[in-house]
Structure 1
Amino acid sequence: MISRIDLRGSAGDPRELLPRAELDIGAALDAVRPICEDVRLRGTEALAELTERFDGVRPPAIRVPRAELDSALAGLDPAVRAALEESIERARRVHAAQRREDTTTRVVPGGTVTERWVPVGRVGLYVPGGRAVYPSSVVMNVVPAQEAGVDSLAVTSPPQAEFGGLPHPTILAACALLGVDEVYAVGGAQAVAMFAYGAGECERADMVTGPGNIWVAAAKRLLKGVIGIDAEAGPTEIAVLADDTADPGYIAADLVSQAEHDTVAASVLVTPSAELADKVETELSARVAATRHRDRVAEALGGRQSGIVLVDDTAHGLAVVDAYAAEHLEVMTADSAGDAAAVRNAGAVFVGPHSPVSLGDYCAGSNHVLPTGGSAVHSAGLSVQTFLRGIHVVTYDRDALAEAAPHVMALAEAEDLPAHGEAVAARVGGASGGAA
């Protein structure tokens, strides 16, 4: 059901040996390029035709009427509403604490540099649809943008034929709960193009965020520069670092829970215990047979992107999970807290037996829009910082400029940019000439 990779006794970089989902975004670029260009040239007409072609339905309008948002909220199951409200409250608590304060540094007497944190003016937030419905992704996109102080935000999600060309009602209800009334029934690469270029009622945005399929990721890569992006999301993934103190039933449950996302979802266990690996495999057999989406889960667990990785010891396991740089990393070892503190590369780390990834998906307060495909070595998950830009504000008086002038002019000459030095000399006088 799930393969094994034995790294015991091996040295060097394990990245080429670890299981990983394949995602050839470059190959998808040629497919999304004409789609994005069509939206740029024909706007809403192109969106309507593309939606009919790819989603099998032609929405009456790309923007969802406010009445539909209110209706979806009114019809929301009370238990789901309570869960969403709790998720929103916890996410707000965590993300509000991320807001940065402006800081001013007195570099020299009369000379300061202030770093101002300014929110992006307008953002487009993508919420996937299709195999599953993700109201939690509405929360994870909207809350940090709101806490950052973004003035204008819009949500888009693929239309569903069974709901008359609207996004799933639970998506709409989540938007209503969050006070978002600009919602569009557009998915795929064309949704990214809509935010990049603007179309009809949808004004162009400064940034687009949120997970999506390979076509969304390819459109983000293609249009990066026209519009800011958060990341090119790939298939979801979990890695579990566990020793023989871990509960194999918990591990199997978590591997299955990640595998039910998609047939290309990655579930990886890293352990120094062959006995634990055997027990986890036994647990997997029973859980896969009993789970609702067993075919999808079995395909994901049996794919080349999933596996059990045997390592020499916990220290070796830490090196391996750092090389893997998982979107989600669970640490279930004898010293879970200490080992988790040593992790450098992960989108989010879940510590101990009672912090499963599914808690983070919904109600931990953390964000679940996280780097995939090993990009956690250089990138972070969605947060308030995603929607803020640091702007340096430089204020020097004449004396402070005069004190720095010789250094500026020396460096300007070293770089053969004499006019740079002359711009300073014009203000304070000096060897480069100019009036005082």
Structure 2
Amino acid sequence: MHFEYNDKTKSLAEKLTTFMQTHVYPMEQAYLASFQTTDSPWKTPAVIDTLKEQAREAGLWNLFLPEEYLPYGAGLSNLDYAPLCEIMGRVPFASEIFNCSAPDTGNMEVLAKYGSDQQKAAWLEPLLAGEIRSGFAMTEPDVASSDATNIQTSIVKKGDHYVINGHKWYTSGAMNENCKIMIVMGKTDPTAARHKQQSQILVPMDTPGVTVKRPMGAMGYLDEPVGHAEIVFDNVSVPADNIILGEGRGFEIAQGRLGPGRIHHCMRLIGCAQRALDMACERVSQREAFGKPLSKQQSVRESIATMHCDIEQARLLTLKAADQMDRHGNKVAKDLIAAIKIVAPRMACRVIDEAIQMHGALGTSQDTPLAGMYAYARTVRLADGPDQVHMMQLGKSIIEKRAQEAVK
């Protein structure tokens, strides 16, 4: 692979960096602090809507959708998008400004790839326009949801409707006041083959029987104004046309969705880690201890060097995975996707933790974004599949490949 980005990516990266420096970084702390005083923490502040309009006018909109989804997206490859996603990831909430935030990105990809014309008109187009937000309901409190075949929520066909019953939590995006639609994963046929039991279905938030019980915290953060909801589905009835792709296709859809979603998290976390390193470098240059700047301390220099090496390694593995996805598809690139999903969150946890250490008590406070970044990085070690699942599958794949090579 080449290690130089093409001219289009370079141009977008420059525009995106300028936008972040001009509009996003200056309002970051005030934006985060506003949720401590507002009466409506799940309402997106007006400043975000203003910035979304400016981003759209600047051509920094729907950057995540690759060429196969034109005319919906910017037509970028995964490799093209990687540095842009990293830039946005330097401020965890910034992705929404460019209509590139989870779970909307994954939901838009699902609808663009698998949705019917009716589903696209009703939900994809408003999502692409940034007019609404969406949720994704898969994880359940009563089963090990890292194995999606364990999902117990039932989706039962009754006439021209499906009736849904179940209990979900960590339904990403569902606390936001502008969340209008969820993609819900459940079982339509518990007697079918293991990976043909699940289906995915569209459920509007205002459907009778949908009860949002509470927001779920992650490492003490509620992730306002997006949030992760605990939801009960009690005889929720939706039209049969809301099923995506057909019964028994839920696991297939989930696998198609999670490949890009996993690598997008890694791209954002590299941005978080790089910013943490930049902040650490600034801090140690300004702070003095034991008679000299921290930057003159040998242990600090060693930590900075290790942080840099860790980020570069993860960045290169991310780019390699993105390149393989573009060249050969998500299925062929699955081992690299698993590898970076193991590596990047762990790397980000280490780097951000070191940056917090160099900031002292300040690093744990609300006066820097570091603590929130750490919570995000640690949470992603569970989101879209925990480390252990990816390691189990990657190890199995490597062993099988070696066995096949030995036979040749």
Structure in which a larger fraction of residues adopt helix: 2
Specify which structure has the bigger relative contact order, considering alpha-carbon pairs within 8 angstroms and separated by 6 or more residues. Answer: 1
TM-score where L is the length of structure 2? 0.25
TM-score where L is the length of structure 1? 0.24
Work out which of the two has the higher radius of gyration on C-alpha atoms and give 1 or 2. Answer: 1
